[in-house]
Structure 1
Amino acid sequence: MPEATRVHLEPTINLPLSNNWGSINTEAKLLATHYQQTNLDWYNSRNTTKLAESANRVMPQFKVDGRMVFERDMEMLAPGYTQTLEPRAQYLYVHIAIRAKSITTTRRCCNLTTPACSGTGLTAVLTVLPPLTR
């Protein structure tokens, strides 16, 4: 059976800016992964799709996350209380190159809710890789 070793690096540059009424956070990443496979003879002799001994994947990622804070005193309805509204928006750009089909695609995620792209299917897109073929 084939065995594989994976090395994954995510160097990140982050620039957070904030003040009393809001904040913005920009982030740039380079997702780099190297796969090294061994014991391929058994698999390659039984299948028409041959596995490669090694493969590399490099995906740049850029994210902007912004938040604003709106506050007002509730003197008319509830004296002594403050009403706060904190809308948040996030834009995430990930460039994914699919080498198996010689097609380069671009994935973008823009979510205007607080979880900001978590659970929207983007994680599944990042983990699905084309087969390592020769």
Structure 2
Amino acid sequence: MMYSEAILDYANSKRFRGKLDDATVIEEGKNISCGDEITLYLKVEDGVVKDAKFEGMGCVISQASASLMLERIVGERVEEIFSLIEEAEKMSRGENFDEGKLKNVTLMSDIKNYPARVKCFILAWKTLKEALKKISRS
């Protein structure tokens, strides 16, 4: 079910919402086809995401995806996060993916059945990839 109670809880959660004043990188992402927007704030120290927040507006799917994603990546090494992004992309396309790596993100594994909503799900992940590229280059 695309709008399960758990997904609605993540979409409405305040846990990862807001700005990080000491963010190492800030990245904005927009889905121009539907208007979803997200701004990611990541604090990275010694190659590890120590804290993360987001601000955004948009549908339940985009907001829940951002919340689930940040829950999954805080505490992870940047190099590992690139593989998590790849697994999330596979999941969204309906390909085989490593459920163990994604943990709670698999709450949204049905997204593959809603092609029009895949862009909503993947927005946060694409924004994260761009943010991490900036960190990797610095």
- If each structure's helix is expressed as a fraction of its own residues, which one has the higher value? 2
Between 1 and 2, higher relative CO (CA 8 Å, sep ≥ 6) is seen in 2
TM range (shorter): 0.3 to 0.5
| TM score, norm. by length of structure 2 | 0.33
Q: Could you tell me the TM-score, scaled by structure 1's length? A: 0.33
Larger radius of gyration: 1
In terms of fraction of residues, the more strand-rich structure is 1
